[in-house]
Amino acid sequence: MQRNTTLLRAALALAALLATFATMAQKRIMVFTDPHLLAPGLFQPSSTALQNDLAGDNKMFDLSNEIMQAMVDRVLAERPDAVLVAGDLTKQGAKLSHLAMADLLHQITDAGIKVCVIPGNHDVNNSQAVRYDGANRYPAATVTSSEFVDIYAGMGYATALARDNNSLSYVAEPVAGLRLIAVDDNRCTARDRNPSLNANGLTMGTRSWVLAQIDDARQHGKQVLVMMHHNLIEHIDDQAALSSDGQVVQAEAIRNEFMQHGVQLLLTGHMHISNITTWHNQARTDSIVEITTGSLIAYPCHYRTITLSPDLGTWTVTTEAIDQLAGKPDFAAYAEQRMAGSARATISSIVWHNWDTFSSKLQEYQSMLGGATFTQDQVTEIATRNMADAVTELNKTMAEGNENEKDGQAIRNHLTSAVTDFANDLLSDANFLVRMVAVPVIVDEFNNMIATPLNSALSDCTNYGTDRANVTDDLHPVLHIAAVPVPDERLAGDLNGDRQVDVADVNLLLNVALGKDSDPQLAAWADLDSSGVVDVIDLNSLINLILNH
Cα–Cα distance, 251 to 136 (Å, whole number): 39
pTM strictly above 0.75: yes
**Average pLDDT of the chain, as a whole number:** 88
Instruction: Determine the straight-line distance between the first and last CA of the chain, rounded to whole angstroms.
Output: 33
Longest pairwise C-alpha distance within the chain: 103
Spell out the long-range contacts of 475-478 with Cβ–Cβ below 8 A and sequence spacing 24 or more: 475/274, 475/317, 475/318, 475/319, 475/401, 475/402, 476/317, 476/318, 476/319, 477/276, 477/317, 478/314, 478/315, 478/316, 478/317
Ranking 331-340, 424-433, 535-544 by mean pLDDT, the lowest is 424-433
Domain ranges of the chain: 2-17+488-548, 26-333+464-480, 341-459
Is the pLDDT at 110 greater than 80? The verdict is yes
> Mean pLDDT across the stretch 287-294?
95
- 26-333+464-480, which class in CATH? alpha beta
> Mean pLDDT across the stretch 363-382?
77
pLDDT of residue 487: 63
Is the backbone peptide bond immediately before 300 cis, with ω within 30 degrees of 0?
A: yes
Is residue 93 within 8 Å of residue 122, measured between CB atoms?
Answer: yes
CATH architecture of 2-17+488-548: Orthogonal Bundle (1.10)
pLDDT of residue 7: 62
Is the pLDDT at 19 greater than 70? The verdict is no
On the question of a common fold for 2-17+488-548 and 26-333+464-480, the answer reads no
Q: DSSP assignment, residue 485? A: P
> Mean pLDDT across the stretch 153-175?
96
The percentage of residues in the chain with a pLDDT greater than 70, rounded to a whole number, is: 92
Cα–Cα distance, 175 to 159 (Å, whole number): 13
Distance of CA 44 to the CA centre of its chain: 31
Is the pLDDT at 25 greater than 80? The verdict is no
Nearest to 180 by CA among 263, 286, 272: 263
pLDDT tens by residue, 38-73: 999 999 989 999 999 888 788 999 999 999 999 999
pLDDT tens by residue, 476-502: 999 999 888 766 567 788 888 777 788
Give the SS3 label for residue 441: helix
Is the pLDDT at 23 greater than 70? The verdict is no
pLDDT of residue 401: 93
Ranking 107-121, 291-305, 475-489, 503-517 by mean pLDDT, the lowest is 475-489
Beta carbons within 8 Å of 380's beta carbon, 6+ residues apart? 344, 347, 348, 351
Spatial strand order of the sheet with 114-117 comes to 114-117, 82-85, 27-32, 302-308, 314-321, 478-480
pLDDT of residue 200: 85
Q: In 10 A of CB 428, how many CB atoms?
A: 8
pLDDT tens by residue, 121-148: 999 999 999 999 999 999 999 999 999 9
Give the SS3 label for residue 70: helix
Is residue 436 within 8 Å of residue 336, measured between CB atoms?
Answer: no
Cα–Cα distance, 115 to 118 (Å, whole number): 10
Beta carbons within 8 Å of 501's beta carbon, 6+ residues apart? 491, 492, 493, 494, 542, 545, 546, 549
Q: C-alpha angle with apex 396: 386 to 305, nearest 5 degrees?
A: 165
> Mean pLDDT across the stretch 343-351?
81
Q: C-alpha angle with apex 302: 22 to 85, nearest 5 degrees?
A: 70
Cα–Cα distance, 342 to 399 (Å, whole number): 13
pLDDT of residue 475: 96
**Distance (Å) of CA 358 to CA 366, 374, 380, 382, 449:** 12, 11, 12, 14, 9
